[in-house]
Amino acid sequence: MKFITIKTIAAMSMFVLFSCDKDSCEYVTTQCEPLGNNTEQSGITVVTYNADNPTDFVGAVYDTRNNASAPLGADWAPALGTAVKITKPADWVLSKIGRVFGIAMDKTANVYLAASGVYGQNFMNTPYQNLVPGRIYKATAGTYSTAPFVDLPMSYTSSSGSLNGIGNIAYDKINNQLFASNLDDGKIYRISMTGSILQTYDPWAADSGTPDITIQDERIWGIGVNYESGNVKLYFTRITLPVTTLANRNLYSLTLNSSGAMPSSAPSLEIANLPGVAESITDIEFSADTQKIILAERGDPHNAMAYSYNRSGNSWNSNTQYFVGGFTGKNSAGGVDFAFVGDDKTPVKCEEFIWASGNYLEAISVTSGRVYGLQGIKYSGNILATAPSTDLFIDYNPPIYNFAQKGDIGDVDVFDADLCSCVSK
């Protein structure tokens, strides 16, 4: 494997033109050039979480690029805060954008945040209703100034909360478009980068039109986009009742046509019998080299998993389960993404570890052990017994390490390293 520093990535563009192809480089045109230049943002991490008061923040930006020297088994957040590497954009408060979960970034480093009712779906919280439950917001690169981007059609019967909202969102770099899953009607929406709804796709039964979140068998939560053999593929899961039956837990895909549109055909089965017992797989992420996938559940406490698969040809093979937090290591909060290992002086190791959002994350150097936020884990996996001392941790509310944020942790997304896949294969 070849390693380069982020600062030298741009200088490698001519090398990339002759050394990679469309199937091995995520940021490509037909000439295998980068679609955008996120080099300065590469490795920066965006997170979402619940809030109770109008002035409370619902998300934050962490500069996690210099992670090679981050303290293992300790909360990295205090050091990040001291170094002014935690940004809480002024617009990212409950009174302005409501509660959000899903996150996506486009090729010019704009951030998209999706309204969600997910925080009302566990025993620690009371259901609520966002003012616009189907809204996606756009935060402008650099300033993170945030404004409404698009509203998906959505209905509810009670102002106290119907649990509906947007499952998650995903950006398609090749076709420069956004996808969103709608929990109200069970459809996937294709959206232009000007905020226009281009197309909808319903992979299962037609929506009944009944207000509020659709039935379990129709729900689509996490979605992701991958690039395989010259094709753009949109991935999503289906979990039907009873959710604990493995045969009812499957991953599907759609191969987009040449214009980037979703076909009218039925989806293809990619992975059958997904592990876990949670009713929602809320995040699906792919590596820049297109060969790895990670999925994260969100569900009841201590019973939600994060795990990965590796692609070989046209098949996906199980890689590992990640132990997120203590007890059984099944404390996923439903967010996960690839990241790189490196800092300003150390060569970058492309996507060799992941960030997973979680509850009750056990860090050996935190007295109570109760970190609520992020856990950084090697992609190859971790060990339940030793993870408290081998992994990275970021608490969202230090130095208060207690149960106050239980169920309030949301999604995580990391700015990709441009050309990382091309030069590391």
Would 268 be classed as within a structural domain? yes
pLDDT at residue 209 in the model: 87
Domain hosting residue 247, numbered range: 6-424
Give the β-pairing of 100-105 and 166-172: unpaired
Residues of the chain scoring pLDDT < 70: 1-40, 120-129, 158-162, 343-348, 417-425
Burial 153-171 (b: 16+ CB within 10 A, else e): ebebeeeebbbbbbbbbbb
**Cα–Cα distance for residue pair 207/39, rounded to 1 Å:** 42
pLDDT at residue 14 in the model: 32
Would 125 be classed as within a structural domain? yes
Domain harbouring 48, CATH code:
2.120.10.30
- For residue 195, what are the contacts with CB-CB under 8 A and spacing of at least 6? 138, 149, 150
Assign residue 224 a region (left: φ > 0; alpha: ψ between -120 and 50; beta: otherwise): beta
**Cα–Cα distance for residue pair 62/44, rounded to 1 Å:** 6
Total of domains in the chain:
1
**Cα–Cα distance for residue pair 120/124, rounded to 1 Å:** 8
Would 400 be classed as within a structural domain? yes
**Cα–Cα distance for residue pair 31/22, rounded to 1 Å:** 8
pLDDT at residue 328 in the model: 93
pLDDT tens-digit map of 32-72? 233 334 456 778 999 999 998 899 999 999 999 888 889 99
pLDDT at residue 122 in the model: 53
Would 66 be classed as within a structural domain? yes
Global pTM value = 0.90
Would 1 be classed as within a structural domain? no
